[in-house]
Structure 1
Amino acid sequence: MAHFMYMVLEGLARWSDAPLIRPFTGTADTGEYSWGLITFGEFRRDVERTARYYRGVLGGVGGEGLKVGDVVGLWLTGESVSDLVHLYALSLAGYTPQLFSLKFSLPGQAVVRDLLKECDARALVYDTHFREIVESGIDDVPKFPLVDIPTLSESESEDVDPLIALEDVKEEDVAIIFHTSGTTGGRPKPVPQTHAWCVAHAKLCWSGAWQGEYESQDVVNNIGSFAHMGASTYIYKSAVTGAAFVQTSKAAIGADEFLAMVKQCGLNRLLQYATWLSALIDVARKNEEVLKALQGMRQVMYTGLAMNPEDEAWAYAHGIPLTNMYGTTETGESLPPCQKRKQTLTKFLLIAQCMVSVLGSKENYLRPIPELGLVLVPALDDKSSGSDSSSEKQKQLYDLFLPLSARNCPYPRVRNRPDGHITGDLFEEVKPGYYVFRGRSDDWIKTGPTRAAFCDTKAIEDNVLKTCSDLVRNCVAVGHLKPRVVLLIESSSASPGEVNADEAQKLKEEVLRRTAEFNSRLMEHERITEGSSILVVPAGSLPRTSEKGNIRRKAAHEHFAQQLAAVWGEAC
């Protein structure tokens, strides 16, 4: 097949004079919202010019130089639209970018160095923001600072065909390497994105998610960092659809910025995580201008987790064109055929949009995007829903299965079945062909400031039990859809029903000390670095299963709800 950059350049040329990116140029702290404008053609010019530069620089690295397809680390802040130029320029130069972001800067040098080695990267291109870390901690590969795009000569080899390095590729050849938002074993995992996956993502996933046909250009907000999968792939999605996107000043936009994007940039499609959209809907309840702006959207799509039912019902009742989208960049667990689910080390992949609700139906029921070829199969063990109620156990739950024929089946080495991949997410069929999300494997929770980042609780617990075996009898990490993780621990020395305050404080301090190194390698939303994130509970008080005596995470969360609410600053 053709290199995915053929698809990108073709689209950039097709809509050459149309707006592609509206970079944020205002000052959010003072409420001054303004945006610039970059056309499809201008972006293509910068990508081609920068690709020629990198091909010249990296082509001379080590002996005969880097070869087509070699992995090149790309460490970006993710805050500037120029980051997108560097990403696609490296791809156009014939290399395979391996993306890193601000999340990797603490303690970035160790994590980035290890991940570069794991992916056999031949060089590192980095933003000068990371200069000190790179120069002091990474010496295994040649290193190059990002080139300043405006300083590149207008005439820099522009007579050279920018596609000369792009040979035909196999569908499963890796095009871009991203990383998981959480960690396994103390560091994120590489997530390869194949050329076939790029094409399917651009041509099928987004066309299935965005609903309704319009003659004028679609304009959507970006979501997240340009160094992460979601926002960085907007370019090839726009290359296929002709849509423009608006850079937001921050991840969770407020009502004022939303209105400014509508007025100044013509925003007509809104994509938000559920918690952020609920905050906007709360404003719309009191602000007629915000309500009318939401009602005027072609589509208001939310993702990440289930939306507050009251907010969802209010939005439907007030004519907001709401749709629910299920997509994932990470999966829960390995599931060998004909075996029950196991609480094991997780695998990761890029799937993106898989299921969406129907625009105008006023229901949040999800259906698989037909063109992808996904299958819902009966879950092998309904207890994996994590529910303790008998009514919930009687429901038939389904796994989302991606067979080898699925257009977005993940990279071979991260599949967890020989015939495809099980995502680890569970669904209930509410009417033929339509489903509602019923949670993930219990070892994974969504947590952090946005309540949208995955956290491997079992890895945290295993490390505590390993490093503090003489102090901790049992422990469980909780915090699903909460601002941070909290560790519940039973002391090895305490008697049932007893918790001595002084001893509990000493225990917390020692656990923090022994787990400090492990925590330093986790993403910020996964770390337990202060005593307030640890609750010492009476010995034997953590709820357990009757058969094997395993600690029940959801039941522990519910049992200690009052104490946990105080930690999270919530009303119980």
Structure 2
Amino acid sequence: MAATYFTCTLGQAQSLGLTNPNFKNINDFIDSQAEAIPSQAAVGFAIPSNSDSQWKSKTWTFSDLQTGSKKVAAVLQKMHGELLTKSETVALICPSTPEFLFTWLALMRLGHPVLLIAPQCQPAAIAHLCKTCQTTVLFHDEIYSTQSQEAEAVARDNGGELHAVELPYSKDRSLSDIMAQEISNNLSFPEVNETNVAYLHHTSGTSSGIPKPIPQTHRAGAGVLPSFPDGKQCATFTTTPLYHGGVADAFRAWTSGALIWLFPGKGIPITAANVIKCLSAAEKSTEQGLPPVKYFASVPYVLQMMEADEQGFKYLQNMDIVGVGGAALPAEVGDRMVGKGINLISRFGSAECGFLMSSHRDYAKDKEWQYLRSNEGAEYLTFEKNEDGLAELVIKPGWPHMAKKNRDDGSFATADLFAPHDSIENAWRYHSRADSQLTLITGKKFDPAPLEGAIATADLLDDVLIFGNAQPFSGALLFRSETARDIPDHDLVEKIWPAIEKLNSESQDHARIPKKMLVAMAVLDQPLEKSSKGTLQRSVVEARFAQDIDKAYTNMGSFNVGDVPDEKVLNVIIEMIESIVP
């Protein structure tokens, strides 16, 4: 099956000779596209409306990306030049909006690596990331003022320096106003090379709430991506925010001169109704000659909402390819979609090594959407088999992008485990993480081991198992010690809860355990299965207590709220949360 810019992995791009040999840096790349295809639409956002009417949209060309980034850079330099000279790396926390896009591009224009902070980060985590990256400037959207100021205070209390600076957009000076200004002929920008860091993502953080930065060079950001001459004929729509995989989605489209539509991330929730309104706005834009959206990218929970909506399902059926990644889509959902004619693929990659594999295939004959294929460029992907029949993916030296290496030979062992297909060669289904990291259905990840260890220190407990893979939130099985044998379940949970509540307050939002998901268990007749190193054999233990885990979610009840008007979504979500956490 011929590759497209939406499905082409970094290995394929290198093997097929589709990368740009003249690539210098991201700024130069934007300038080159602005010169070659100045009027070609590069990025679009739907404009939400409070009424039920058709949403409008706004697109920017490659020429706009060039001039807009320079104009915003000039404003930032004029307003905060002194601060910027003191910090090579600068941080940005902002919803996925045009303001994010142009601020990020502008800061790279000014030669600064940009630390992209996910809004879910707690102030302590933000301060830690900034300290790790030697960042003293934190640009923030107005809605994250409190969060940013608290991070500033944490840094100060720890003897560090961090300046929270609000972005230069307001009612009196919008992004459109800045972009309408005349550009100065005196502007000059520093030279950067392809090996310089352009921006940094970060891990989601463990239960301690401390994420780690993952630097991306200019070359990794865009220089290793494919360029398809016919790419501009098909646009992509992604629900992934820019501070996560949206950046990669954007560059993947732009290197082929294609348009990408991004979900407007400020002030509206990602619901099927809102995604449909975005797609409708993009569809309307084809009347002005813009290319149709043929590629749809999202995480599983968004795809599940779309699949359950009649109109949303029709939009998916009309796509050339629907891509899912970030977490596991339930097999029954994917099978149902494929059975009804949707060309569904899994896309697998990492911040450390970029786009690694997809299940792009002959859709008419091959329905195995879960099985990722390692074909062209696969000589740098190896699968090391374990005794349980699974295989760990290891990236070998020679792969186009490796931000991290963890073996002496320069390889990167991903800790991702796969199961081979029974009959299709070089086809692998993602199974689990070797390092026991839990992945919620939202795509958020966390390591439960530190939390388990902290909770299990209680005298009333012998051991703890935290679960939550492919679920919206986690839970914990609390295994009694002998001293707690006769304590009623409710009383045991009440005694343990204060310690867990304290841990929750120090954890990332997605790593917090609801009180109603604490399950009091009997004293163990046999200890939990552990390795020789004392680490929990998670998959074995989860299988052993599968009924208890399933019962925990069943007892929570199901949130069958029916169709909810968009204006009531926030209230319904609050009610749902309050029903879980007192």
Question: Shared topology, TM-score over 0.5?
Answer: yes
Aligned to 1:565: 553
- The 8 Å contact of residues 272 and 302 in structure 1, kept in 2 or not, is answered as yes
1:84 aligns with 2:95: no
- The 8 Å contact of residues 415 and 435 in structure 2, kept in 1 or not, is answered as no
Equivalence map 1:416-435=2 (5 Å): 416-430=407-421, 431-435=424-428
- Which of the numbers 430, 434, 443 marks the counterpart of 1:452? 443
**In the TM superposition, what is the alpha-carbon distance from 1:356 to its structure 2 partner?**
3.4
Aligned to 1:121: 135
What RMSD in Å do the two structures reach over aligned CA positions? 3.2
> The residue matched to 1:484 in structure 2 has which SS?
coil
Aligned to 1:8: 30
Aligned to 2:255: 240
Taking the aligned partners of 1:99 and 1:232, their CA distance within structure 2 comes to 10
**In the TM superposition, what is the alpha-carbon distance from 1:302 to its structure 2 partner?**
1.8
Aligned to 1:357: 360
Equivalence map 1:290-309=2 (5 Å): 292-309=314-331
Taking the aligned partners of 1:291 and 1:223, their CA distance within structure 2 comes to 16
1:316 aligns with 2:338: yes
- The 8 Å contact of residues 495 and 538 in structure 1, kept in 2 or not, is answered as no
Letter in 2 for 1:5: N
**In the TM superposition, what is the alpha-carbon distance from 1:479 to its structure 2 partner?**
1.3
**In the TM superposition, what is the alpha-carbon distance from 1:42 to its structure 2 partner?**
2.1
**In the TM superposition, what is the alpha-carbon distance from 1:420 to its structure 2 partner?**
1.4
1:166 aligns with 2:191: yes
Taking the aligned partners of 1:501 and 1:214, their CA distance within structure 2 comes to 63
- The 8 Å contact of residues 74 and 187 in structure 2, kept in 1 or not, is answered as no
- The 8 Å contact of residues 140 and 166 in structure 2, kept in 1 or not, is answered as yes
**In the TM superposition, what is the alpha-carbon distance from 1:192 to its structure 2 partner?**
1.2
Describe the shift of the 1:312–1:122 C-alpha distance in structure 2 as closer, same or farther (beyond 3 A): closer
- Unmatched tracts of structure 2, length 5 or more: 1-22, 170-174, 286-291, 560-582
Describe the shift of the 1:126–1:34 C-alpha distance in structure 2 as closer, same or farther (beyond 3 A): same
- Which of the numbers 478, 503, 506 marks the counterpart of 1:518? 503
Identity level (%): 16
Letter in 2 for 1:538: A
**Higher mean displacement: 546-555 or 6-15:** 546-555
- Which of the numbers 270, 277, 302 marks the counterpart of 2:296? 270
- The 8 Å contact of residues 111 and 521 in structure 1, kept in 2 or not, is answered as no
**In the TM superposition, what is the alpha-carbon distance from 1:542 to its structure 2 partner?**
7.6
Letter in 1 for 2:447: D
1:257 aligns with 2:244: no
- The 8 Å contact of residues 477 and 553 in structure 1, kept in 2 or not, is answered as no
Taking the aligned partners of 2:179 and 2:42, their CA distance within structure 1 comes to 23
1:554 aligns with 2:542: yes
Aligned to 2:245: 230
> The residue matched to 1:525 in structure 2 has which SS?
helix
Normalized against structure 1, the TM-score is what? 0.79
Taking the aligned partners of 1:248 and 1:275, their CA distance within structure 2 comes to 15
Letter in 2 for 1:127: D
Describe the shift of the 1:17–1:156 C-alpha distance in structure 2 as closer, same or farther (beyond 3 A): closer
Taking the aligned partners of 1:60 and 1:290, their CA distance within structure 2 comes to 49
Taking the aligned partners of 2:56 and 2:323, their CA distance within structure 1 comes to 24
Letter in 2 for 1:489: L
**In the TM superposition, what is the alpha-carbon distance from 1:418 to its structure 2 partner?**
4.2
- The 8 Å contact of residues 93 and 116 in structure 2, kept in 1 or not, is answered as yes
1:185 aligns with 2:208: yes
Aligned to 2:565: none
> The residue matched to 1:49 in structure 2 has which SS?
helix
CA deviation vs aligned residue, 1:277-332 (integer Å, no higher than 9, x gap) = 2443344xxx4x65554333221122234444444344334332222222234xxx
Aligned to 1:376: 382
1:50 aligns with 2:72: yes
- The 8 Å contact of residues 428 and 435 in structure 1, kept in 2 or not, is answered as yes
CA deviation vs aligned residue, 1:515-559 (integer Å, no higher than 9, x gap) = 44432232211112x421211111116862388685643225414
**In the TM superposition, what is the alpha-carbon distance from 1:159 to its structure 2 partner?**
1.0
Describe the shift of the 1:566–1:316 C-alpha distance in structure 2 as closer, same or farther (beyond 3 A): closer
- The 8 Å contact of residues 374 and 400 in structure 1, kept in 2 or not, is answered as no
Letter in 1 for 2:191: L
> The residue matched to 2:491 in structure 1 has which SS?
helix
**In the TM superposition, what is the alpha-carbon distance from 1:114 to its structure 2 partner?**
1.9
Higher relative contact order (CA 8 A, sep 6+): 2
1:472 aligns with 2:461: yes
Aligned to 1:146: 167
Describe the shift of the 1:143–1:354 C-alpha distance in structure 2 as closer, same or farther (beyond 3 A): same
Count of residues in correspondence between the two structures = 505
